[in-house]
Amino acid sequence: MIHFECDYTEGAHPKVLESLVATNMCQTTGYGNDEFCEKAREMIKSLCGNPVADVHFLVGGTQTNTTVIASLLRPYQGAVAVKTGHINGHETGAIEATGHKVIAAEGKNGKISAEEIEQIYNDHHSDCDHEHCVQPGLVYISFPTELGSIYYKKELEAISATCQRFGLPLFIDGARLGYGLTAADCDVDIKDIARYADIFYIGGTKQGALFGEAVIFKNKSLSRDFRYMIKQKGGLLAKGRLLGLQFAALLEDNLYFDLASHANRLALKIKDALVAKGVELTCPCSTNQQFALLSNEVVEKLSKDYSFSVSPSDKEGYSNVRICTSWATTEENVDKLISDLNKVL
Amino acid sequence: MIHFECDYTEGAHPKVLESLVATNMCQTTGYGNDEFCEKAREMIKSLCGNPVADVHFLVGGTQTNTTVIASLLRPYQGAVAVKTGHINGHETGAIEATGHKVIAAEGKNGKISAEEIEQIYNDHHSDCDHEHCVQPGLVYISFPTELGSIYYKKELEAISATCQRFGLPLFIDGARLGYGLTAADCDVDIKDIARYADIFYIGGTKQGALFGEAVIFKNKSLSRDFRYMIKQKGGLLAKGRLLGLQFAALLEDNLYFDLASHANRLALKIKDALVAKGVELTCPCSTNQQFALLSNEVVEKLSKDYSFSVSPSDKEGYSNVRICTSWATTEENVDKLISDLNKVL
Amino acid sequence: MIHFECDYTEGAHPKVLESLVATNMCQTTGYGNDEFCEKAREMIKSLCGNPVADVHFLVGGTQTNTTVIASLLRPYQGAVAVKTGHINGHETGAIEATGHKVIAAEGKNGKISAEEIEQIYNDHHSDCDHEHCVQPGLVYISFPTELGSIYYKKELEAISATCQRFGLPLFIDGARLGYGLTAADCDVDIKDIARYADIFYIGGTKQGALFGEAVIFKNKSLSRDFRYMIKQKGGLLAKGRLLGLQFAALLEDNLYFDLASHANRLALKIKDALVAKGVELTCPCSTNQQFALLSNEVVEKLSKDYSFSVSPSDKEGYSNVRICTSWATTEENVDKLISDLNKVL
Amino acid sequence: MIHFECDYTEGAHPKVLESLVATNMCQTTGYGNDEFCEKAREMIKSLCGNPVADVHFLVGGTQTNTTVIASLLRPYQGAVAVKTGHINGHETGAIEATGHKVIAAEGKNGKISAEEIEQIYNDHHSDCDHEHCVQPGLVYISFPTELGSIYYKKELEAISATCQRFGLPLFIDGARLGYGLTAADCDVDIKDIARYADIFYIGGTKQGALFGEAVIFKNKSLSRDFRYMIKQKGGLLAKGRLLGLQFAALLEDNLYFDLASHANRLALKIKDALVAKGVELTCPCSTNQQFALLSNEVVEKLSKDYSFSVSPSDKEGYSNVRICTSWATTEENVDKLISDLNKVL
C-alpha cells in the first residue's frame, strides 16, 4: 500500500532526526526556555524580517489554532472564517469548546474575500440588536487553504487592510505554509505573510518535522501572557527543546522550502496526468494537495494499491478524492501512481 | 409611539399580576420548592397528558436554551438547528459559550426537515475521520419558528421519528408556543408537542407573563440533576414562586391560549391589509409575527408613529420589517396601523 | 410554619408591586433600553455620587457574579475570594463553568484581608513557573459577608489600595448591601463602597424586590460590551423595565435602607435573646443573618414551628443554625420566636 | 551547570531514539491508527493483565488530565483531589477551563485518604441545598504524588472501594508511575494499579520517552467517543505512530521499570547524604524526587554548579528545594553533588 492520503505518513526529514540524536543527552531546562528554542526563535525572526516578533512553539495545528484564538477573543466574540476552514469543520469544535463561535463565510475555492469580511463586520454593527449576536473578533485564513488554493498578493493586501480598518487581528494558519509559499503561482514570500498577518504559524508537522508549529506574533502586545495560555490548553511541551531543535534543522539552508518545492513538483506531475485524462479538478491549484472527481469504479481499482482521502461528491457515481504529496514522497511512487492512473482512467 | 416591534412591550396580563399581589406576603421556601410551583407543575403535566413529565421553571428563553442544551450534550457534541434558529443567530453565542457548536442546516421558511437531519447525521457518521468533526447530539427546533411559520403534524412526526432512530433528543423551543398552537392552520395540539418532543418549553415571557419559561422533560431520565444545571447557569430564581404563580394563572381557564388567539387574529388583520396592497410577505404565516418587504420610504413614514423591527433586505430600496402583535395588543392600535398603512402604501 | 431560613420567603415590598401594577400597560422597548431603567440608572449614579458610573440590571446574584467575573478575566486568570465566599461554595461552580478558578483564601470571620491578597499576588508572581499557575485576575468580596460580618472602613481602604497597586479590579457582591450599610457598627456608606469598588452591585432580591441586582461599574472602560456578556449568559431580561421599575421604587425616599434597618433591628433582638441564654454565636455580627450553635434537641423542638438553615457543626450534638430576618419579617413573629427560644433553651 | 530541577532535562533513552530512526520512512496512517500503536496497546493490555482495557496515547500530562477529566464529568461536577495535586495548582486552571471545579482536600504528605473522600461525598449529599454546590464527580490521585510519596496497598484498596461505593471513577495520574512502582517500599504492582483505577496513565515524558502518556481505561464503557475528546482538546497527534513506537520501545524487556529503578537508587543516595547531615526532608520518600529544607546560603552556594527547583519555605532563612533524578541521571553527577553537599552543609 502506497500512501497519498495525507502529508504526515512518515516520520521526519533525516536532518531533523540527526539533530535530535546529536543533542539527545544535553541537559536543558524545560518548557521551551532553552538555547535550542532560542536559536530557532532568532532564525525565525530573521527569516520574517521582524526583530520584534514574539515566537512560540506548539505541538500541533488544532492546539495552535485553539490556543491562539482563545487568547485573542473576548468571551462574546467569534472567529470569522471561510466555511471550509479547518477550525470550522475539522477540529471537533475545539474553538467552540473554548466558548467561541466560528462565524462562517461562504467563500470561494476555499478562500474568504475582503468584501465578505467587510459585509460580516458591517452587518453585525449595523444591527440595532447587535449585542444579541456574536461579535466578529478576528479573521482566520489558511495559507494555503484546506482546498490547496493560495491567496494572491492583492487578496492578502485587501484582507489585511480590511482587518486593520476594523481592528480585527488577522491570524493565518500556516500548517502547510511552505507548500503555499513555494507554489508556482505564489506572488508573496514569508516576509509578506509576516507583514500581512498579526499572527501566523509555520507548520512543521506536515513539512518535515516529527511535529511542531511555530507561532509568530507581530509584536509582544498581541502575545501578552501567551505562555499561560499554552500551558492551560495542554500545549506546553515539557521537553520544549524538541521543537526548537526541529525548526532550527528545517530552517537551515532553506531545507524547509526545498522540501515543500519537492512535494509541489510531484503534485503537479499527478495533476498534469489527471488533466490529460480529462479528470475534473474540484479546486485547481498548484500546491501539494490535489482534489479530483473520480468515478467510484476508478477509486475502487486504485484503492488496492494506494490510499487517498475519499469523500462523497454531489455527482452520482463519483467521489471526491484528495491526493497528497509531501516532503517524503518519492518520484518512484508518483510515477507508479501515474502509470496506474493511466491504466484505469 | 405605538409598539409593534416585539411581543414583550407591556408587563403581564392582569390576572397574573392579581395573583402576585394576592399571594405577596405568603411565606414560602425558595428556588421553586414551593406549593405554587408544585400546583403549576401538576397543571402542566395534566395539560400535556404526561404524568411522568418533569417540569422546571426558568426566567428567560436564552437561559432556557443554554441550560437545556448544555445539560444534554457531551463535550464533543453539537446542536443541530436551522440557520435562522434563535440559538444560531440571536443569543450572542450562548450555546458556544458552554462549549458546543450549533450545526446549522439551510432549512426552508425557518424550518428544518427530517431529511436534512438524516443527511447531517449520516454525513457525520459515514466520514472515516468523524472524530475530527462535531458529533450531532440533539435537534433543536422552534414552534412556531423565528419566521412565524409552524411545523405541520406530518413534519413533526417525521422529525421526531428521525431523531428517535438516531438517538438524538428533540428539543422544541416554545418561547411562542401558544401563538403556534392557536394558529388557524395548526394541526397539532400541546399533547402532540409533548409526545414528539423529548424536551420542550411553554413560553411565558412573550405570552402574558412578566417573565418565565416552563421546561417539560418527557421523563426524569432526561432531566437528571437538572437543578444543578439551572443553578450553575444562573437561572435558579430565589423567589421561584413567582414562576409557579404566573404559570398557574395563565393556564387557568385556557387563558394562555385565548391570549395567543387574540394576538394571532390581530396579526392576520394586518397581514390581510398588507396583502390587499400587494405587499410581499417574506415568510407567509398565520401567527403573531408578520414579516413584510416594505419600501424604505414607507418604513420612514410609518416610523413616526409606530416602532417595528427593521433589517436590511436584498431588494434595493426595501427593508424587511417584522410586525408583532401580542396578548396585549389592542384592536384600536391595529386598526389605526392598518388605516395608516393604507394611506402610505 | 414561620420562615426564618432566608431573606427571600415573601414577594416584594408593596411599593414595588404598586409600581409594577401602575405601569403595567405602558409600552416600552425591551432589554433595559426604556425610560424606567434610565430613571433608575440616574438615581443610582446620583446615590453613588458618580456621574460617570455605568449601571446595568440583572435578575439574580449568581448570574451577576458569573457575568461580571467572566467579563473581567482573561482565560488564564482566576478570582481571588475568601473560602466562604458565595462564588466559591454556593453557585454550583458557575465561575468555573466560565473557565475560571476561584483562588480561595483562608480569611477570618468570612473576610479576606489586604495582606492575604498581597500574599497570593506575590506568591504567584515570584514563582519562576508562574505560567503553570492560575494568575490572580480580580478580587471578589461580599458586603456584608456570607457570615453576616461587615468590612470596616480601614479594611476596605487597605483592600482597595492593594487591588489598585496590583492592577486587580475589586468586585463587591452587594446581594445584601443594604443590610450591611445600615448595620449599627458600619462606618462606611454607599458612596464609600462606590469609591472602593471598581464594580459592585446593589442587591434587590433579598431586600424588597421580586428580583433584581443593579451592577455599578466605576466607569465605562470597565464595562465595555457588557450587554453582550449579559445576553450571552442568559441575564438580559426581555422586559427589562421590571428591573428599572423596582429599583426606582426601592430607592425612593430611602425605602431600600429603611427596610434593611428594620431587618437588622429584628435580627439584633434575636441575637440579644440568644446571647442572654449563653448561646454561642459562630460569627457575631450586627446584620440580618445570625449564626448560632444550638443543640440538636433545641433545633428539633424549634423546627416544629420555625424553619431555619441548619448545617452540621464540629461540636458533637450541636448544629449550626442560620436565622435570617428580612424587610418582610414581622415584629410579632420575632417576639414569638424569642419567647419560644426562651422556653427551650 | 548540572541539572537536578526536573526529570525531563534530556531527550529520550537511546533505544527509543533508535526505534524512531529505524522506522522513520515507513508509511502509516495518522492519528494513532497504525500498527506501531496497535502493538504498544497490546503490550500495555498484557502488562496490565486486562484484555478489555482501552488504551489511548496523548502527548503530555496536563493534556491527559484535562482530556480525561472533561470526558468523565457532567457540567456541574468537579474532580476531588488533594490540595497539592497537579491539577489543582500546576496546570494554569486547565480543568477549570473546561468548566469544572477542583474540589481540594487537605490531605497529608501529598495524599488524600478514603476518609476524606467519604467526607466530601457525604457533606455534599447531606446538604439540603446540594444543588447549589459542585457535585463530586470523580477522584484524582497521583502515583507517586507530587511530593514523591506513594500510596500503599491498603490505602489504594480503601480509596478504590470508597470510589466504587459512591460511583466515583478513580483516575490515577501516572506521569511518574514507574518511579512509584519501583520504589523500595512500594507494595503494589502495575496490575494492582490497573485494578484499583478506573482510568490511569503510564507516563512516558518523565521516564525515558521524548514525550507521551498512555491512558488506560478499564473498559470501553468508560472511554466512549474518547477520540473525539482527544481531537477537540488538541491532543490527537498527527503522527500518532511516534507514541506507539516509544511505548513499545520502553516496555520491551522491562526497560521502563529498570530506568525508574536507576533513578530511585540515585535519589536515595542523595537522600542518605542529606539525612546524614541532619537536613530536614519535608516529605520523606523513596522515589526520584527528594524535597529538602536547605538554608538560603547553602542554596546559593550550590546554585553555582547545580540547578534545582527552589520555592519559599515558612522557616526564616530557609528554602524548599526539590532535587530530581531521572532515567538519564549519571552516577558521576550524583557523586559530585553529594561531595559538594558535604562541603557546604
- Give D235-302 as a DSSP string: ---TTTHHHHHHHHHHHGGGHHHHHHHHHHHHHHHHHHHHHHTTPEESS--SSSEEEEEEEHHHHHHH
- What is residue D128's predicted lDDT score, i.e. its pLDDT? 79
Radius of gyration of chain D, Cα coordinates, nearest whole angstrom: 20
- What is residue D126's predicted lDDT score, i.e. its pLDDT? 87
- Least Cα distance to D146 among D308, D1, D282 occurs for D282
**Per-residue cell: B256:** 394562555
Average pLDDT of chain C is 97
Mean pLDDT value across residues D160-182: 98
Predicted confidence (pLDDT) at residue D25 exceeds the cutoff of 90: yes
Predicted confidence (pLDDT) at residue B126 exceeds the cutoff of 90: no
- What is residue C126's predicted lDDT score, i.e. its pLDDT? 87
Q: pLDDT digits over A129-188, tens only?
A: 899 999 999 999 999 999 999 999 999 999 999 999 999 999 999 999 999 999 999 999
d(CA A150, CA A174): 11
Backbone angles phi, psi at C27, to 5 degrees: -90, 135
CA-to-CA dists, residue A186 to A47, A154, B194, D117, angstroms: 18, 11, 59, 61
- Least Cα distance to B135 among B59, B75, B190, B187 occurs for B75
In which residue are the cell numbers 423567589 written?
A: B239
Q: pLDDT digits over C256-279, tens only?
A: 999 999 999 999 999 999 999 999
Angle (CA) A14 A19 A23, round 5°: 150
Residues C262 and C127: beta-carbon distance below 8 Å: no
CB atoms within 10 A of CB B134: 28
| Chain B interface mutation, best of C1, C6, C8, highest count of B Cβ atoms under 10 Å | C8
Instruction: Please judge whether A93 and B101 are an interchain contact, meaning their C-beta atoms are less than 8 angstroms apart.
Output: yes
d(CA C213, CA C337): 31
D contacts of C127 (beta carbons < 8 Å): 311
Reported residue count of chain B is 345
Query: How much is the pTM?
Result: 0.97
Residue A92 Ramachandran class (φ > 0 left, ψ -120 to 50 alpha, else beta): left
> Which of A74, A132, A229 shows the shortest C-beta gap to C76?
A229
Helical spans, DSSP H, in B14-75:
14-22, 35-48, 61-72
Q: Quick one: pLDDT band at residue B303, thresholds 50, 70, 90?
A: very high
Q: Quick one: pLDDT band at residue B137, thresholds 50, 70, 90?
A: very high
Predicted confidence (pLDDT) at residue C158 exceeds the cutoff of 90: yes
Distance of CA C102 to the CA centre of its chain: 17
Type and span of the H or E element at B200: strand B199-203
Which percentage of chain C shows pLDDT scores above 90? 98
Residues of C with a Cβ under 8 Å from any A Cβ are: 70-71, 74-76, 98-99, 131-132, 135, 225, 227-229, 231-232, 236
> Which of D74, D99, D132 shows the shortest C-beta gap to B99?
D99
D contacts of A228 (beta carbons < 8 Å): 92
Which residue on chain B is closest to D133 by alpha carbon?
A: B228
CA dihedral for D100, D105, D109, D114, sign (positive or negative): negative
Instruction: Please judge whether D228 and B98 are an interchain contact, meaning their C-beta atoms are less than 8 angstroms apart.
Output: no
d(CA B266, CA B326): 9
Residues B147 and B110: beta-carbon distance below 8 Å: yes
CA dihedral for B137, B142, B147, B150, sign (positive or negative): positive
Min distance D99 CA to chain C CA atoms (Å):
4
Q: pLDDT digits over A271-330, tens only?
A: 999 999 999 999 999 999 999 999 999 999 999 999 999 988 989 999 999 999 999 999
Which three-class secondary structure state does DSSP give residue A116? helix
Which residue on chain C is closest to A97 by alpha carbon?
A: C99
d(CA C103, CA C81): 6
- What is residue B337's predicted lDDT score, i.e. its pLDDT? 98
DSSP string for residues in C124-159 = HHH-TTGGGSPEEEEEEEESS-TTS----HHHHHHH
In which residue are the cell numbers 470596616 written?
A: C152
d(CA C132, CA C124): 10
Which residue on chain C is closest to A233 by alpha carbon?
A: C76
D contacts of B229 (beta carbons < 8 Å): 75-76
Mean pLDDT value across residues B113-134: 94
User: Rounded to the nearest 10 degrees, how much is the dihedral formed by the CA atoms of A87, A93, A97, A99?
Assistant: 60
- What is residue A174's predicted lDDT score, i.e. its pLDDT? 98
> Which of D92, D205, D238 shows the shortest C-beta gap to A211?
D238
- What is residue A312's predicted lDDT score, i.e. its pLDDT? 87
Higher confidence at residue D50 or residue A128? Answer: D50
Mean pLDDT value across residues D104-117: 98
- What is residue A188's predicted lDDT score, i.e. its pLDDT? 98
* Angle formed by the axes of helices C153-166 and C114-126, nearest 10°: 20
Residues A78 and A135: beta-carbon distance below 8 Å: yes
**Helices and strands per DSSP (H, E), number in chain D:** 14, 13
Which letter, b or e, does each residue of D101-129 get, where b requires 16 or more Cβ atoms within 10 Å of its Cβ?
bbbbbebeebbbbbebbbebbeebeeeee
- What is residue A128's predicted lDDT score, i.e. its pLDDT? 79
Which letter, b or e, does each residue of B157-168 get, where b requires 16 or more Cβ atoms within 10 Å of its Cβ?
bbbbebbeebeb
Backbone angles phi, psi at B311, to 5 degrees: -140, 155
Min distance B120 CA to chain D CA atoms (Å):
17
Q: Quick one: pLDDT band at residue C128, thresholds 50, 70, 90?
A: confident
CB atoms within 10 A of CB B173: 27
B contacts of C210 (beta carbons < 8 Å): 20, 239, 242
Residues D170 and D198: beta-carbon distance below 8 Å: yes
In which residue are the cell numbers 473546561 written?
A: D98
| Chain D interface mutation, best of A1, A2, A10, highest count of D Cβ atoms under 10 Å | A10
Predicted confidence (pLDDT) at residue C196 exceeds the cutoff of 90: yes
d(CA D75, CA C188): 40
Mean pLDDT value across residues A232-258: 98
* Residue D182 CB partners (closer than 8 Å, separation 6+): D257, D260, D261, D264
Radius of gyration of chain A, Cα coordinates, nearest whole angstrom: 20
Which letter, b or e, does each residue of D137-162 get, where b requires 16 or more Cβ atoms within 10 Å of its Cβ?
bbbbbbbbbbbbbbbeeebbbbbbeb
A contacts of B312 (beta carbons < 8 Å): 123, 126
C contacts of D102 (beta carbons < 8 Å): 101
Instruction: Name subunits touching C (3+ CB pairs < 8 A).
Output: A, B, D
**Per-residue cell: A195:** 507583514
d(CA B340, CA B320): 18
Q: How many CB pairs under 8 A join A and C?
A: 43
CB atoms within 10 A of CB A38: 14
Type and span of the H or E element at C217: strand C213-217
DSSP string for residues in D71-133 = HH--TTEEEEEETT-HHHHSSTTHHHHTT--EEEE--BTTB--HHHHHHHHHHHHH-TTGGGS
DSSP string for residues in A52-72 = T-EEEEES-HHHHHHHHHHHH
d(CA B247, CA B244): 5
**Per-residue cell: C327:** 424587610
Instruction: Please judge whether D131 and B74 are an interchain contact, meaning their C-beta atoms are less than 8 angstroms apart.
Output: no
User: Is the interface score ipTM higher than 0.90?
Assistant: yes
> Which of D70, D99, D227 shows the shortest C-beta gap to B131?
D227
DSSP string for residues in A125-175 = HHSTTGGGSPEEEEEEEESS-TTS----HHHHHHHHHHHHHHTPPEEEE-T
D contacts of A237 (beta carbons < 8 Å): 59-60, 211
> Which of B28, B231, B239 shows the shortest C-beta gap to C92?
B231
Instruction: Please judge whether D131 and B98 are an interchain contact, meaning their C-beta atoms are less than 8 angstroms apart.
Output: no
**Per-residue cell: B323:** 410586525
d(CA B101, CA B136): 9
d(CA A297, CA A316): 12
Instruction: Please judge whether C211 and B238 are an interchain contact, meaning their C-beta atoms are less than 8 angstroms apart.
Output: yes
Residues A336 and A19: beta-carbon distance below 8 Å: no
Predicted confidence (pLDDT) at residue D89 exceeds the cutoff of 90: yes
Q: Quick one: pLDDT band at residue D291, thresholds 50, 70, 90?
A: very high
Q: Quick one: pLDDT band at residue B122, thresholds 50, 70, 90?
A: very high
In which residue are the cell numbers 399581589 written?
A: B21
CA-to-CA dists, residue B302 to B1, B279, B312, B323, angstroms: 10, 15, 16, 12
Which three-class secondary structure state does DSSP give residue B142? strand
Residues C292 and C279: beta-carbon distance below 8 Å: yes
* Beta strands per DSSP E along chain A: 2-3, 54-58, 77-82, 102-105, 135-142, 170-173, 199-203, 213-217, 280-281, 289-295, 306-307, 309-312, 318-324
B contacts of D70 (beta carbons < 8 Å): 75
Angle (CA) B104 B105 B111, round 5°: 115
Q: pLDDT digits over A202-218, tens only?
A: 999 999 999 999 999 99
Predicted confidence (pLDDT) at residue D148 exceeds the cutoff of 90: yes
CB atoms within 10 A of CB D224: 12
Q: Quick one: pLDDT band at residue D228, thresholds 50, 70, 90?
A: very high
Which residue on chain C is closest to D70 by alpha carbon?
A: C97
Mean pLDDT value across residues D147-153: 98
Instruction: Please judge whether A242 and D91 are an interchain contact, meaning their C-beta atoms are less than 8 angstroms apart.
Output: no
Mean pLDDT value across residues A14-32: 97
Q: Quick one: pLDDT band at residue B312, thresholds 50, 70, 90?
A: confident
Q: Which residues pair with B324 in a beta bridge?
A: B289
CB atoms within 10 A of CB C128: 12
C75: cis peptide before it, omega within 30°?
Answer: no
- What is residue A292's predicted lDDT score, i.e. its pLDDT? 97
Instruction: Please judge whether A241 and D11 are an interchain contact, meaning their C-beta atoms are less than 8 angstroms apart.
Output: yes
Mean pLDDT value across residues D54-59: 98
